[in-house]
Amino acid sequence: MDSQAFATVFERMKSQIASVVVGQEDLVEGLLVATVARGHVLLEGAPGLGKTLLARAFALTTGTTFKRIQFTPDLMPSDITGSSIFDRDKGAFSFVPGPIFAQIVLADEINRAPAKTQSALLEAMADGSVSADGVSRKLPAPFLVVATQNPIESQGTYPLPEAQLDRFLVKLLVENPTRDVEARIVRAHADGFDPTNLNHITPVVDASTLVEMSHVAEQVRVDDAVVGYMVDLVRRTRDDRTIELGASPRASIALLRSARVVAAAEGRDFVTPDDVKRQAKAILRHRVMLHPDAELQGIRADNRIDEILRTAPVPRVA
């Protein structure tokens, strides 16, 4: 598969999902980029904006297995990873895989589970494997965790720790649709659209194609000037006075991976600063911790990242 074929497949996947999830083209693209870049996605948005629908449509489009985990305060780690159960017939313990053993895992309202349960996802997200009963079990490839959280409610929630936030490649914001888009959604439902029945979606690619796409993206050329630009952006988050904790080098790597996918999705075999800039907010917004004073003044991470993007010089070779 070359860059052009990559771009074609990418566009087909995007169109397929966008036909179901109306008016969220940027969100769909972000999800696809994260998947091909082998990253995990944190979706933040109010209930009812189609986060679950998006994950399900994505799983169906890519022909991957899909599991959903509703996080609750009493959810145990073993409820996610699975546990060993004594098999009376065999007279031995046998491992029953949990819902984590799927290619697309939707962790709905992830911040409702306590930290101990949340951390059960860490190993799976970082290594692509699960340890249970002293045995490490490999998860299927590709493996993508799509976690959702509601930014409004704080009652009975456990904010994700910074270490776990860093595991997500991108944090995508699910915004309310515009009036026209909302009208299209209502019209579709009036015409019989059933979000629980997505059987009409046919897979555009299979899991192996996704893996191949990842390999293609990894071959995209990145000029030193562009690498310098990525590093500059990340380092600027550490020098910003309103940011208490800047992004880590992992953020630079994340920028590299996602920018490569964006370039490939446009049929290019090289990354431009524009690709980096387009992914910067999604990559950085959950990796910076604002100063308390800045938070009290209503400043958001996106504001500071915008400012950094506005002031950082773009490299030019000539």
Partner 1 sequence: MKRPFLAPVLRPLLGPLALVAVLGTASHSFAETPEESAAFAEAAAPFCSNPPKPLKDDQRSLCGYASHLPNCAAFQEACKQPVAAPPDLSWLAPLAIVARFVLYALAGVLVIGVFYIIFVAIRKVINDRTPSETPAKSGVKVVPLVEDAAAPAPLPTDGGAALLARADALLARGEPALALSHYLAASLRSLDEKGFLRIARSQTNGEYLRAIRDSEFRGAVAPIVRAVDRAEFGSVAASAEEVAAFGAAARALVMSPRRAVAAPSPFAAALPVAALALVLLGCGGENKKHGSPSGSEYFQSLTSRQGLTVTPLTHPLATLPDPRSKDAVAVMLNADETPLDDETDHALTAWVANGGHLLLSGHSSSWPKELAKAMAASKTSALEVAAEALAKTVAKKIPPPKTSEVPPPDALLLDGRDVRLATGIADDEEEYAEEDADEDESALESREPAEEAPRIRGFTAYSYSSDRPGMPLVRRGDGKTAASLVSVGTGTVVTLDEADLFTNAALAYPRNPTIALTLLRVAAGKGTPSVAADGIVRYSTYRTIERARRHDGRQGASDPLSALLAAGLRLPLIHAAIFAAILFFAYGRRMGRAEPDRLDSRRAFAEHVEANGLLWAKRKFGPLALATWARFAEERLRARMPKSATDPAHYLALETGQDPTFITEIWKRATEQSPTERARGDEIAILKTLAPLLDRLDSAPRRTLS
Q: Which of 88, 90, 179, 316 binds partner 1 (CB under 8 A)?
A: 316
DSSP letters, 27-78, are HHHHHHHHHHTT--EEEEE-TTSSHHHHHHHHHHHHT--EEEEE--TT--HH
Q: How crowded is the C-beta side of 207, counted as CA atoms within 13 Å?
A: 12
- Angle formed by the axes of helices 224-239 and 273-284, nearest 10°: 30
Q: Which of 277, 285, 286, 287 binds partner 1 (CB under 8 A)?
A: 277
The residue whose two tokens read 């059960």 is 120
| Closest CA relative to residue 269, chosen from 222, 227, 204 | 222
Q: How far is the CB of 199 from partner 1 (least distance, A)?
A: 38
Candidates 59-67, 69-77, 165-173, 221-229: pick the segment binding partner 1 (CB under 8 A): 221-229
Does residue 314 belong to the site contacting partner 1 (CB under 8 A)? yes
Q: Which of 244, 248, 250, 302 binds partner 1 (CB under 8 A)?
A: 244
Q: How far is the CB of 258 from partner 1 (least distance, A)?
A: 15
Q: Cα separation of 289 and 311, whole Å?
A: 20
Does residue 295 belong to the site contacting partner 1 (CB under 8 A)? yes
Candidates 22-30, 132-140, 183-191, 309-317: pick the segment binding partner 1 (CB under 8 A): 309-317
Q: Which of 151, 159, 228, 249 binds partner 1 (CB under 8 A)?
A: 159
Q: How far is CA 126 from the centre of its chain?
A: 13
Does residue 218 belong to the site contacting partner 1 (CB under 8 A)? no
Q: Calculate the CA dihedral of residues 268, 312, 229, 283 and round it to 10 degrees.
A: -70
Q: How far is the CB of 272 from partner 1 (least distance, A)?
A: 5
Q: Which residues bind partner 1 (CB under 8 A)?
A: 155, 159, 162, 221, 223, 225-226, 241, 244-245, 268-274, 277-278, 289-293, 295-296, 309-314, 316-318
